[in-house]
Structure 1
Amino acid sequence: MKHPTWLAAVAALALAAPAMAQSSGGTIAVPGPQSISAADKQTGAQADPDLTAEYGGPYSGPQAQLVKQIGLKVAQQSGIAGVERDFSFKLLNSGVPNAFAVPGGYVYTTRGLLALMNNEAELAFVLGHETGHIAARHTDRRQKVTQRSVLLGTLGQTLLGAVLGNGALGQIGGQLGQVGIQRLVVGNVMSHSRQDEFEADDLGVVYARKAGYDATASSDILASLAAQTSLDARLTGQSRTTPGWAMSHPDPAARVARSLQRARQQTASGGLRNGDAFLLALNGMIYGDDPAQGVIEGQVFRYPADRIQFTAPVGYGMNNGAEAVTITPTTGQGGQASFTGGRFDGNLDALVTKGFAALTGQANARVNVTPQRTTINGMTAATATLGASSGNQAVDATVVAIAASANTAYTFTVIAPRGAGLGNLAPLVQSFRRMTAAEAAAVRPRVIQVVTVGKADTVGSLSARMAFDDAREDRFRVLNGIPAGVTTLPAGRRVKLVVWGAPGKY
């Protein structure tokens, strides 16, 4: 995973005195007219490629255009000059519900979060919320948090180095741990204080209302997000270690009532929702993992593009990141691993050596290893294990390079207790195999299908059409914002289903 250079960046917007959004029920301080500085533009432009890659790249199609259209409409209410010129609203190809902004007018949301929405007003609030972080200069307030976060990352590496030893080999476990620490640092930097979140909620309400939308929809999307977070925790616990909006926007449930109250204070009634048009725009959008990036189904990772798969042992979860699949224990105990791959020149020994060198943080570091040859499910592999220790603590670091084809190889890097070699992650490596053509062709995306409720339809009958083996009704309710206890829906209402899409050429 890349380490974005924007982590320590600070926004420097030229901010005028705040205005007040008046209502009979209270006031919301609204930042005054301002413009985005050249320094912020540069910061955002530098951050954008890494952030986009980290979340699967841009997602194109009518949904992306909708995000841009509504984002610009809402941002024009912020008092920031040059919105059409300076703002970028991007839909990212990630199934993880998330939204965030960085200095320079760069605002992002994922298709995972978009899928939870049921009308334009909810999207307007989310994009208004992120615009609010920019307008209120929350990055300035996060400078000290950022410095603490970077320090936390450095401290984490130092502690791992103390455990593993401070030489080149002693640092290898620390470098593997960088994936987890990187996620922790990014999570801290992208997060805001509770005060900042409430202020951004307020600004999202104001901007959405001024753009003509029903601002009370803010509580609906926050409630859907809380319900999705709860459902994920109940269904999988920590089996999927990918962070979501709940990671960078804490306690969504606590914000539902507050956002509704603030919205009602700001407007008497009315405002656009445009539910049907919005839902129809989502029709056909990928839901969950995109097979082109690999899919995680339970404990199995499948990558149909190269026709390979492996299975994580019970007790481990996987995260399909931009540059690697990480495998970590759900209990906090046990080894950890990363999985990467790509083209190579046919020299597996060199790939193993490069794997160890990469773990030192120095691509050109000289690491003396003598890989051993083996086979894994009919494929030639090279493997080596190096030990590192400090005091009474010791680990093994193992790199296994597997030739999947004449010019493609994949690498598992595993850290386990000293003397264990691969330890309890040996089944992970041994499960790596080629998929048959039929298996690869059978990998299909899940997609959003918008349907109209018929007279005979019920929550139960519609839920039965969901492309899942478990919790179909719970998933259907969360996806459509249908509370528990409601069993019938009015005929003519449009709802979202998740169905299997057509197989693709990956």
Structure 2
Amino acid sequence: MRMRWKMMAMASAAALAAATPIAAEAPQAQRVQAITAQERAQGQQANAEIVREYGGVYDGPQVAYVKRVGQRVATQSGLATTPGAFTITVLDSPVDNAFATPGGYVYVTRGLLALMNDEAELAAVLGHEVAHVAARHSRSRQNTATRNTLLGALGQAIVGAVAGNSGFGSLLSRGIGAGAQLATLGYSRGQETEADTLGVGYLARTGYDPVALSTMLESLAAQNQLSQAIAGQTRALPAWASTHPEPGARVARARSEATRIRATGTARGRDAHLAAVDGLLYGDDPAQGAILGQRFVHPALRIGFTVPQGYTMANSPQAVTIVGGGGQAQFATLPYSGNRETYVRGVLQSVAGANARLPAYQLQSTTVNGIPAAQATIRAASGNTPVDVTVVALTPSATRAYHFVTVTPAGRGVAPFASTIQSFRTITAAEAGEVRARYVRVVPVGARDTVQTLAARMAFPDRQLERFLTLNGLSANERLTPGTRVKIVTH
């Protein structure tokens, strides 16, 4: 699954970096405290856990391109003048996300990289995240933001749902490590606005078109709407900018700021970016299982389950996160010794913490589609609100076990996720064969091509036109110019 690198991507990118004039009227960098040794140590300590939570480091040929763009725009922040002071990482995750941590560590997922349509948009995203670090926003957010929960780095969808101040609830708040907490704690609206303003300035001083931030935000808003429509609901799992200020107002504000500074740089770097993302893995990696509509299927493990319409799922190497029905859940696996009671207790202990004292609970034995299972529910607290935390362990073999952990309002138990749990089963070879890797392919527009004909080439069973338009930042009535290049997704 190694992608081919096209040398013209590096050549074009290098030419862009060398030839782009610095905007004469771009705002000058404000005095910023340089990265301290303590911040660098903090970022380095968090790095390993962040990489683990987000599926590891993506090692495709796009990495060199992203690193060059990221380091170039990051030096405009005043945190450091040497590009090598910034560590730019592409994460092997289909989730649309980007963030930076103290110490000059900057991250972007391959999912968000695929959504971008030019180099300036990549610079805009990375510059925005570096701006948070330059403004030291993490200091205040660590003191005021609610910590993530046991459901991992994607847990912003459920912040506050289980992490309470007493007993088991307070222990759940420590289920996610400090590294991912550092990366995913939310910023205030004021901080987001400040980071947008600083990021637009970085773009201008680097010679990129400062309007790129607003066009990237428009693409993110369109992707979020598409995700909601696919899930059959009006609320989707958080992506980059999903907890930021209202999208429409934010796009307008970013465009206004780009106009206000009267920057002369107009570089977009579309050709370099398209050459770089051609062949990029898109969506789930089949080796980690895949979400197919409302189904989760893992071809290697030969298992699968289905969530109701309106529920959302997000897949990571550690777990599948499920949100819906007024509750939250996680599907995962741990080592299994052959004893379901021991396994259930181990899951509860792993959630609570190694040294935590578990409250009393009753273990119930059952079966799911002929698979032996056991479950236990514990009453916890979310602040002053009681919640039910349930573990359901399923053992399809003597050596393998899986489990759902659900968090629901007190008295509901596992009810919001009963149909999901009851749908768990082993799958056939044919079902496993449905899961195939998808890749971004950059293709030229033919003389007779329309958005409809190109959308028909998208390797999806539904919403092909919407997916194509969103991926390319196009409108439904867009007239394409023959010879220009666009992105499609194929097997």
TM-score by length of 1: 0.79
- Please name the residue that 2:107 is paired with: 108
| Matching of residue 498 in structure 1 with residue 489 in structure 2 | yes
- Please name the residue that 1:317 is paired with: 312
Is the CA contact (8 Å cut-off) linking 1:451 and 1:497 kept in structure 2?
yes
- Between the aligned partners of 1:211 and 1:40, the Cα distance in structure 2 is 25
Is the CA contact (8 Å cut-off) linking 2:406 and 2:414 kept in structure 1?
yes
The Cα shift of 1:259 comes to 3.0
Instruction: List aligned pairs for 1:65-214, cutoff 5 A.
Output: 65-81=64-80, 83-135=82-134, 137-139=135-137, 142-150=138-146, 156=160, 166=167, 171=168, 189-194=185-190, 196-214=191-209
Q: For residues 226-280 of structure 1, give each alpha carbon's deviation from its aligned partner in whole angstroms, at most 9, with x where no partner exists.
A: 2222333344355885310122433343233333343345456454322123112
- Between the aligned partners of 1:393 and 1:200, the Cα distance in structure 2 is 35
Is the CA contact (8 Å cut-off) linking 1:75 and 1:83 kept in structure 2?
no
Is the CA contact (8 Å cut-off) linking 2:313 and 2:321 kept in structure 1?
yes
- Between the aligned partners of 2:147 and 2:485, the Cα distance in structure 1 is 49
Q: For residues 112-143 of structure 1, give each alpha carbon's deviation from its aligned partner in whole angstroms, at most 9, with x where no partner exists.
A: 221121111221222222222333x232xx53
| Matching of residue 401 in structure 1 with residue 400 in structure 2 | no
Is the CA contact (8 Å cut-off) linking 2:455 and 2:465 kept in structure 1?
yes
Q: 1:33 to 1:22 in 2, by over 3 A?
A: farther
Unaligned runs of 5+ in 2: 1-21, 150-158
Letter of the 1:381 partner, please give it: A
Letter of the 1:205 partner, please give it: V
Q: 1:393 to 1:457 in 2, by over 3 A?
A: closer
Instruction: List aligned pairs for 1:290-309, cutoff 5 A.
Output: 290-309=285-304
- Please name the residue that 2:153 is paired with: none
Letter of the 2:399 partner, please give it: N
- Between the aligned partners of 2:262 and 2:379, the Cα distance in structure 1 is 65
- Between the aligned partners of 2:40 and 2:175, the Cα distance in structure 1 is 28
Is 294-303 or 237-246 further displaced after alignment?
237-246
The Cα shift of 1:388 comes to 7.4
Q: 1:434 to 1:219 in 2, by over 3 A?
A: same
Instruction: For residue 328 of structure 1, give the secondary structure of its aligned residue in structure 2.
Output: strand
Of 425, 435, 442, which aligns to 1:443?
435
Instruction: For residue 222 of structure 1, give the secondary structure of its aligned residue in structure 2.
Output: helix
The Cα shift of 1:298 comes to 2.3
Is the CA contact (8 Å cut-off) linking 1:96 and 1:243 kept in structure 2?
no
The Cα shift of 1:161 comes to 6.8
The Cα shift of 1:282 comes to 0.7
Letter of the 2:106 partner, please give it: V
Of 334, 339, 342, which aligns to 1:347?
339
- Please name the residue that 2:277 is paired with: 282
- Between the aligned partners of 2:304 and 2:221, the Cα distance in structure 1 is 33
Q: 1:38 to 1:323 in 2, by over 3 A?
A: same
Tell me how many residue pairs correspond in the alignment. 461
Q: 1:418 to 1:269 in 2, by over 3 A?
A: closer
The Cα shift of 1:182 comes to 10
Is the CA contact (8 Å cut-off) linking 1:205 and 1:218 kept in structure 2?
yes
| Matching of residue 377 in structure 1 with residue 373 in structure 2 | no
- Please name the residue that 1:244 is paired with: 239
Aligned residues: percent identity? 45
The Cα shift of 1:386 comes to 5.4
| Matching of residue 329 in structure 1 with residue 324 in structure 2 | yes
Instruction: For residue 338 of structure 2, give the secondary structure of its aligned residue in structure 1.
Output: coil
The Cα shift of 1:62 comes to 1.4
Structure of higher CA gyration radius: 1
Q: 1:22 to 1:376 in 2, by over 3 A?
A: closer
| Matching of residue 471 in structure 1 with residue 470 in structure 2 | no
Is the CA contact (8 Å cut-off) linking 1:299 and 1:312 kept in structure 2?
yes
Instruction: List aligned pairs for 1:406-485, cutoff 5 A.
Output: 406-415=398-407, 422-485=414-477
